[in-house]
Amino acid sequence: MLIRAATHADIPQIHAVTAAAFGQVAEADLIEALGDAGHVTLSLVAADDHGEVAGHVLFSPVGIPGVAGLAVGLAPIAVAPEYQRRGLGAALVREGLRQLHGDGVAAVVVLGDPGYYRRFGFTPASRFGLSCPYDVSGDYFMALELSPGALAGANGVVGYAPEFAAL
């Protein structure tokens, strides 16, 4: 698999992969809405040997009270059902975090399974005084400092792009 920046030509395949992975179109529509609104920091695809999109991860800007540097949210991430459980999602997350770190992003938040995201270094966001604007269990809202100490002054509710409210 080749992990690369998503292009405009990938949009239909990203939509199809995301809809198949989630069993609905809401997350796929969210990706398009974030792109249309210019609320995408990083969008990566994993392409198979034929150039077909097998997976996708998106990072969008978030507002974290008390943090001066750029922070992003990881969501959504999707892998086509036939490619799941092969490490493709993890490879997309790792490459995304690597690129974001290189671009000077201070921190990343994610709403997801703690058992999955801990392997990348995510910890409960509550440890940094952060809360999620959505009604979820505290352990499922997680944060990762890409720059040591980036979340030292953080406190409050993380602000997501308005497109997330439709989800």
Q: For residue 106, what are its two tokens?
A: 């201070």
pLDDT of residue 167 exceeding 80: no
Give the pLDDT score at 166.
Answer: 82
From residue 28, alpha-carbon distances to 43, 57, 76, 141, 152 in Å are: 13, 11, 8, 21, 34
At residue 46's C-alpha, the angle toward residues 80 and 36, to 5°, is 85
Give the chain's domains with CATH numbers: 2-166 (3.40.630.30)
Residue 18: strand, helix, or coil: helix
pTM: 0.95
Taking 80 as the threshold, does the pLDDT of residue 81 lie above it?
yes
**What's the pLDDT band for 68 if we cut at 50, 70, 90?**
confident
Specify the 3-state DSSP secondary structure of 164. Answer: helix
Alpha carbon 158 to chain centroid, angstroms: 14
For residue 80, pLDDT beyond 90: yes
